[in-house]
Amino acid sequence: MSLWIFATLFAASVQAIRFYLQKRLSSAGLSPAAATFARFVYAPLPIALGIAAWAIWSEAALPAIGPGFWPFALAGGVAQILATVCVVALFARRNFAVGIAFSKTAVLLTVVTGFLLLGELVTLPALAAMALGFVGVLLLSLPSAGGLRGNPFNAASALGLASGVFFSVSAVGYRGASLAIETDAALLRAAMTLCFVTLVQTALLAAWLAARDRAGLVAVFRGWRATALVGLTSMLGSLGWFTAYTLQTAAYVNAVGQIELVLSMLISRFALGERQSPRELAGIWLVGLSVAGLILLRA
Confidence of residue 103 (pLDDT cuts 50, 70, 90): low
pLDDT at 267: 79
Closest CA to 114 of 94, 136, 130, 90: 130
Range of the domain at 159: 3-298
Confidence of residue 148 (pLDDT cuts 50, 70, 90): very low
Beta bridge partners, 58, equal: none
Identify which has the larger pLDDT, 33 or 262: 33
Q: What is the pTM of this model?
A: 0.77
By the 10 Å C-beta count (0-12 exposed, 13-18 middle, 19+ buried), 214 is classed as: exposed
Distance CA 223, CA 70 (A): 33
Beta bridge partners, 65, equal: 181
pLDDT at 11: 92
pLDDT at 236: 92
**Confidence check: pLDDT of 143 > 80:** no
Q: pLDDT tens for residues 53-95?
A: 999 998 888 999 998 899 999 999 999 999 888 877 876 666 5
Q: pLDDT tens for residues 203-237?
A: 999 999 999 999 999 999 998 888 899 889 989 99
Residue 105: phi, psi to the nearest 5? Answer: -60, -15
Confidence of residue 178 (pLDDT cuts 50, 70, 90): very high
C-beta separation of 250 from 117 below 8 A: no
Handedness of CA 47, 53, 57, 63 (dihedral sign): positive
Q: Rounded mean pLDDT of the chain?
A: 82
Identify which has the larger pLDDT, 46 or 225: 46
The domain total for the chain is 1
Question: 148-162, 213-227, 269-283: which has the minimum mean pLDDT?
Answer: 148-162
Q: What is the DSSP string of the chain?
A: --HHHHHHHHHHHHHHHHHHHHHHHHHTT--HHHHHHHHHTTSHHHHHHHHHHHHHHHT-PPPPB-TTHHHHHHHHHHHHHHHHHHHHHHHTTS-HHHHHHHHTTHHHHHHHHHHHHH-----HHHHHHHHHHHHHHHHHTS-TTSGGGS-S-SHHHHHHHHHHHHHHHHHHHHHHHHHTB--S-HHHHHHHHHHHHHHHHHHHHHHHHHHH-HHHHHHHHHTHHHHHHHHHHHHHHHHHHHHHHHHS-HHHHHHHGGGHHHHHHHIIIIIS-----HHHHHHHHHHHHHHHHHHHHH-
Confidence of residue 296 (pLDDT cuts 50, 70, 90): confident
